[in-house]
Structure 1
Amino acid sequence: MTPTALPRKPFKWLLLGVLFAGGVWYLSFDLVYVVTRDRTNEPPLRNVLLVVHVLAALPLLLLPPVQFSRRIRRRWPVWHRRAGKWYLTSAIVAAMAAMVLGPTFESHGRRVPLMLFATVWLLVSVAAWWCARRGAFAAHERFVAHSYAIALAFVFVRVLGDVQGPLFAFLPDKEVRGVTREWLSFVLSQLAVEVGYGWLPALRAARRSSASGRRVVLADTDA
């Protein structure tokens, strides 16, 4: 597999450690919520889909920090492939459940973003699987990063919800605040992947090209 755009050690492990801890924190709260929530006057299918969605999130938030390790990929390629299949299967199941749950949310403003990003989640997860089957591992890794970013967006939504009072003080309407953090969590997570895998490598390549061009000009001048 080709080198990733992730930061070098120790920053890479610090980043992945923080993301893993965030996933554990989110899952602990969400699992409790699913088990203890009031199900009065709710369709049975919606309750089943919520449980499926949360259970599918377990590998989505816990596996990627290990899967992004180059050392583990090289030493235990069989484990990497099996864990990757588990992850992508869970991502597809969770995305499909979210697509069905989206229109049922009580907050009307959250329905469109949830359905949109659930659809994107499904597409990038299927694309990651397709690329891996064809040996296009650089594209596979990038699609997996997008899929993982959408899974993390559910963590970001909760974090933003805990600080939305001071953060969105300029938005007095609670409904508008909820919709804003919904869009922000997903858009910013995808933007982070684009910056890491697209913008920064392109800027580094441009800098190397510029430095190489200057060396050629200096060599011609000296000659």
Structure 2
Amino acid sequence: MKTNRISPNYKGFRFPPVIIGHAVWLYFRFSLSFRDVEELLAQRGIVVTYETVRQWCLKFGQTYANELRRRRPRCGEKWQMDEVFLTIRRKRHYLWRAVDQDGNVLAILVQSRRDKKAATRFFRKLLKGLQYVPRVIITDKLKNYGAAKRDILPGVEHRQHKGLNNRAENSHQPTRLREKKMRKFKSAKQVQRFLSAFGPISGHFQPQRHRLNAREYRATLQGRFQQWNEVTGVKLVA
């Protein structure tokens, strides 16, 4: 299916796309702070402030992530869902997440509740972004999943068991690491904005390594770097 690509607009920026793209890649791919990225760039003779890195990530991170998502093959038909709590300014919020059977993050949504209304809203966001229905969904025993599923996906098989959605539960671990590195999230809006870019970018460079031999893994990773260069508008010299 053809999609209209939104090319990054670097007009007015002093540094070339290759440096901006590299800085954004470092921040979203690894558990680094803006100051860490500033130091890594300085080691290569690129003098920028951490505030510049922050502005690059805010402006281009979501653009890169959206394009990677457009290029991603259709995800699996078995969806696993889970929610974890986040404490933001002493108030409890819930991070809803859905992944497919291969661990690809399908959607995330930060909400202040986890009732039926919140579950329904998450289902609608998920379906709007993917535009197809799954064969089966797997959740824990939270009853609000079942209530929302009966309204939104009445014909889809629903399996509820605490031990079946381990992949969704494990997918929260990188978020916890970044939460610690960022010394807790400051607002629900910040979490939503950060994870919307973090998920596609970080996941793009993490193929299912355990399913590939060394040669296949290197070839896959090389192809993904090539895609990243296309997304960021970097022209490599042969």
TM-score (norm 1): 0.27
Between structures 1 and 2, the one with greater strand share: 2
Between structures 1 and 2, the one with greater helix share: 1
If asked which structure has higher relative contact order (CA below 8 Å, sep 6+), I would say 2
Higher CA-based Rg = 1
